[in-house]
């Protein structure tokens, strides 16, 4: 028994002897700290993870969400993930931000905030460790003092500037949502103040209206150029000296409507199908703008095949980048969208978010129904949709200013002077002038009545309706548009309009 006990303790003595003397001192200094390090580094203490990933939440490939105290939420969808990652989500108050007490990622953000943007929310901060997701979802509560909601926007800080983000308002839940690429450094709710609006006019070669418009007109776009099937650009008419001497920003229109009024969508479709042709077309446009000294150009390609939405987006993105490098302006006129529901529209070949990113100006026409310009409800729905997909300061709404007749569900302008003559003959001996109230004539002319849907007076002539757009109608539309603080408005058929429209437009600015 003694021998067995001696052998057992002999092994222990051997182990203990290792830690004695010089060799033991070295091992003690190395092994014990290492064991202590393992205890602290590994679960359950996991000190290393806390040091490296403090404030970050681990998300698996199935994605997940992180929420802060006020209910704001950052979501990473599973479809946006390449691998698992860690996400950080937090906020700092408006007061701390204004005082410059934000974290290092917000250095310079206070000074870079434009004067026309009013901060309405905390600054929400995002961060990741791992591969960036393709997109994230930021769902933020509507600030308490943020009315009118029509003026709310979301902006992200990229380290150098505040950039506008497409977004959606969910009024039932009192939330505003955006789906940016990756994980922005910071996102905030802003309210946009009104800037001086641009008053633009699109016209044919006749510039007779320009002197009447005077200084009210800030942007002038003659329909000067026609796209060709091979990607080249043809000039339709010579530029009138009235255009060149107007003092307005000259941005000619490149379009696909031939001299007979036929929309040549086939020319644009064929061009877009072949990348070599549309890239050559970009070269031709750039060369045209630079050789003529134009400040830029408006692209008005109508009825493009919706199946070519991606190709049209690539064309506009490329053209926008090329002109921006030349410090030139790209404007894009989109087709009127089709309303699908209370707040959803179908935009066909025109991806509004992509176009809004690439262009300096986006022109959107007032919606129509069977050729008739829509009334207040339709216009308000359009403006809400447009300002959630395109920066409001880039938007120019195309408004009717001339009377028009409906032929085959298409609106054709009618000279205002012809309308006055027609109304005078129908009213008997009374001479009708621009100042004559249409309500006064309503009782005298059986075929004249107020159309409740459009808000315009309608005159039936030979079983064909004529809608009497005038300065009063324009004033009502502009009052509604003014609620959204847009970049401006565009008038068409100005030569055939009520001459008083320029006074109305001057007050809108």
Q: In the 3-class helix/strand/coil scheme, how is 423-439 assigned residue by residue?
A: HHHHCCCCCCCCCCCHH
Distance CA 466, CA 497 (A): 14
Residue 294 pLDDT greater than 90, yes or no: yes
pTM of this prediction?
Answer: 0.86
Residue 46 pLDDT greater than 60, yes or no: no
Please compute the mean of the pLDDT values over residues 379-403 and round it to a whole number.
95
Residue 36 pLDDT greater than 70, yes or no: no
Distance CA 478, CA 487 (A): 13
Residues of the chain with CATH 3.20.20.80: 198-402+469-508
Q: What per-residue confidence (pLDDT) applies to 39?
A: 52
Q: What per-residue confidence (pLDDT) applies to 48?
A: 46
Residue 101 pLDDT greater than 90, yes or no: no
Reading the block at residue 276, the tokens are 């070599």
Reading the block at residue 495, the tokens are 């030569």
Reading the block at residue 448, the tokens are 């004249």
Q: Which fold does the domain 198-402+469-508 belong to in CATH?
A: TIM Barrel (3.20.20)
Please compute the mean of the pLDDT values over residues 452-471 and round it to a whole number.
83
Please compute the mean of the pLDDT values over residues 90-96 and round it to a whole number.
93
Residues of the chain with CATH 2.60.220.30: 57-192
Q: What per-residue confidence (pLDDT) applies to 3?
A: 43
Q: Where are the beta strands (DSSP E) in 361-453?
A: 361-365, 368-369, 372-373, 395-400, 404-407, 410-413, 448-451
Q: How confident is the model at residue 52 (pLDDT cuts 50, 70, 90)?
A: very low
Q: How confident is the model at residue 104 (pLDDT cuts 50, 70, 90)?
A: confident
| DSSP code for 356 | H
Distances 294 to 16, 233, 350 between C-alpha atoms, Å: 91, 15, 25
Residue 483 pLDDT greater than 70, yes or no: yes
229: closest CA among 276, 264, 279, 202? 264
Beta strand 123-129 with 456-461 is unpaired
Q: What per-residue confidence (pLDDT) applies to 412?
A: 83
**Average pLDDT over all residues of the chain:** 87
Residue 47 pLDDT greater than 50, yes or no: no
257: closest CA among 295, 196, 204? 204
Q: How confident is the model at residue 5 (pLDDT cuts 50, 70, 90)?
A: very low
Contacts for 464 with CB less than 8 Å, ≥ 6 apart: 405, 406, 407
Q: Which fold does the domain 57-192 belong to in CATH?
A: Chondroitinase Ac; Chain A, domain 3 (2.60.220)
Reading the block at residue 382, the tokens are 């359009």
Residue 8 pLDDT greater than 70, yes or no: no
Q: What per-residue confidence (pLDDT) applies to 50?
A: 44
Radius of gyration of the chain (CA): 33
Reported as a single tens digit per residue, the pLDDT across 332-375 is 999 999 999 988 999 999 999 999 999 999 999 988 766 677 78
Distance CA 56, CA 460 (A): 69
Report which of residues 330 and 13 the model is more confident about: 330
Q: What per-residue confidence (pLDDT) applies to 354?
A: 98
């Amino acid at each position: 028994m003694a021998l067995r006990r001696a052998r057992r303790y002999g092994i222990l003595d051997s182990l203990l002897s290792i830690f004695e003397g010089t060799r033991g001192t070295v091992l003690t200094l190395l092994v014990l700290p290492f064991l202590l390090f393992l205890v602290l580094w590994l679960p359950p203490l996991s000190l290393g993870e806390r040091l490296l990933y403090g404030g970050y939440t681990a998300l698996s490939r199935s994605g997940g969400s992180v929420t802060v105290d006020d209910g704001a939420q950052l979501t990473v969808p599973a479809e946006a993930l390449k691998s698992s990652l860690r996400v950080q989500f937090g906020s700092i108050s408006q007061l701390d931000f204004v005082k410059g007490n934000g974290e290092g990622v917000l250095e310079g953000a206070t000074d870079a905030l434009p004067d026309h943007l009013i901060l309405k929310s905390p600054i929400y901060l995002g961060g990741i460790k791992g591969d960036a997701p393709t997109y994230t979802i930021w769902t933020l509560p509507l600030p308490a003092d943020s009315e009118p909601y029509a003026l709310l926007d979301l902006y992200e800080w990229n380290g150098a500037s505040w950039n506008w983000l497409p977004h959606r308002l969910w009024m039932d839940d009192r939330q505003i949502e955006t789906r940016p690429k990756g994980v922005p450094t910071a996102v905030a709710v802003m309210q946009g103040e009104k800037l001086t609006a641009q008053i633009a006019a699109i016209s044919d070669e006749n510039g007779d209206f320009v002197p009447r418009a005077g200084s009210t007109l800030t942007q002038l776009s003659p329909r000067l150029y026609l796209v060709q099937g091979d990607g080249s650009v043809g000039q339709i008419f010579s530029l009138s000296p009235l255009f060149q001497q107007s003092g307005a920003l000259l941005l000619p229109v490149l379009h696909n409507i031939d001299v007979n009024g036929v929309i040549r969508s086939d020319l644009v479709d064929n061009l877009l199908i072949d990348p070599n042709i549309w890239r050559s077309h970009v070269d031709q446009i750039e060369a045209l703008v630079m050789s003529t000294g134009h400040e830029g150009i408006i692209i008005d390609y109508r009825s493009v095949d919706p199946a070519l939405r991606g190709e049209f987006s690539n064309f506009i993105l490329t053209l926008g980048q090329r002109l921006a490098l030349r410090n030139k302006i790209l404007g894009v006129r989109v087709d009127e969208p089709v309303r699908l529901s209370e707040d959803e529209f179908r935009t066909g070949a025109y991806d509004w978010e992509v176009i809004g990113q690439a262009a300096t100006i986006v022109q959107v026409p007032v919606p129509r129904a069977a050729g008739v310009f829509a009334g207040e409800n339709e216009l308000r729905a359009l403006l809400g949709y447009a300002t959630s997909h395109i920066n409001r300061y880039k938007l120019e709404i195309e408004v009717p200013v001339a009377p028009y007749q409906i032929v085959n569900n298409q609106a054709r302008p009618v000279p205002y002077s012809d309308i006055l003559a027609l109304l005078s003959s129908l009213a008997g001996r009374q001479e009708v002038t621009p100042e004559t109230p249409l309500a006064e004539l309503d009782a005298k002319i059986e075929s004249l009545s107020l159309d409740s849907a459009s808000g315009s007076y309608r005159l039936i002539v030979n079983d064909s309706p004529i809608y009497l757009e005038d300065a009063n109608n324009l004033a009502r539309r502009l009052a509604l548009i003014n609620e959204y603080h847009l970049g401006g408005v565009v008038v068409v058929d100005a030569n055939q309009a009520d001459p008083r429209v320029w006074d109305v437009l001057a007050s809108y600015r």
